[in-house]
Structure 1
Amino acid sequence: MNEALLDDLLRRAAAHQRLAVERALADLAVTPTQHAVLKSIVETPGLSNADIARLEQLTPQTTSLVIVNLERKGAVTRRAHERHGRIRRAEATALGAALLADCRDRLRGYLRRQRAALPADGGGRIEAWLARLAETRV
């Protein structure tokens, strides 16, 4: 496979995945980026904006906006860092944890279909390759 084809396939797959997630979460008024940030906060309470930006590969400005919007929904609270007053740590509220559970329920069918589409003889290798790709710093 040539590089141009791989680039095109990755771009199209990412666009397809994003659109599917947008549609699945639309009635919850949660964007794919909000879902990703909320998932990180639920799974690792106490993250700073900078931590989340690095983890989700977002700009600091985007991260701040997403967290403010999650706060407005009542899904997230932030508290001052114990030693560094300017750093604020994000934590999910009970509403945020419930919202993430609703998001996961909405995405379950889509993710099941994608997993079922993986080839039986190479699905594990594809998942491992995607995991390595996702962890690569740009």
Structure 2
Amino acid sequence: MKKFSLIFLIIVSIMACNHDEDSLEIKKVMSLQEEAWNNGDIEQFMEGYWKSDSLMFIGKNGIKYGWQTTLDNYKVSYPDKTAMGKLNFEIIKLEVNSSSAYMLGKWKLLRKEDTPNGYFTLYWKKIEGKWVITIDHTS
């Protein structure tokens, strides 16, 4: 019985370490997205998204599909660095499983004229060893 308890404890510890590592990787992607946005680099910002036609972005205009569509929409909505402003993310909740994660957070843009802000829900998947956003619901 002691042997079983020890093995169980080791397995639980390994799983906890993996989830902590995955959480850090996801938070790093978010940090890199903030940095890219604040440098006016939408293409680099998009590296955090799944480069697939199945990517889903849900915003005020409904559901849009595809990485390229999402990139094109960002470029229309934020044509230059002034329109992009300075982005800040605040992660409220992050739940990580072995190959997927759920994140709830706030976003805020600091611009000369205004300070738009809202919430986001992101669904992440670990695809080919890389954490990427597969569903983004932003309001």
- If the length of structure 1 is used for normalisation, what is the TM-score? 0.31
Task: Name the structure with the higher strand share.
Answer: 2
Task: Name the structure with the higher helix share.
Answer: 1
- If the length of structure 2 is used for normalisation, what is the TM-score? 0.31
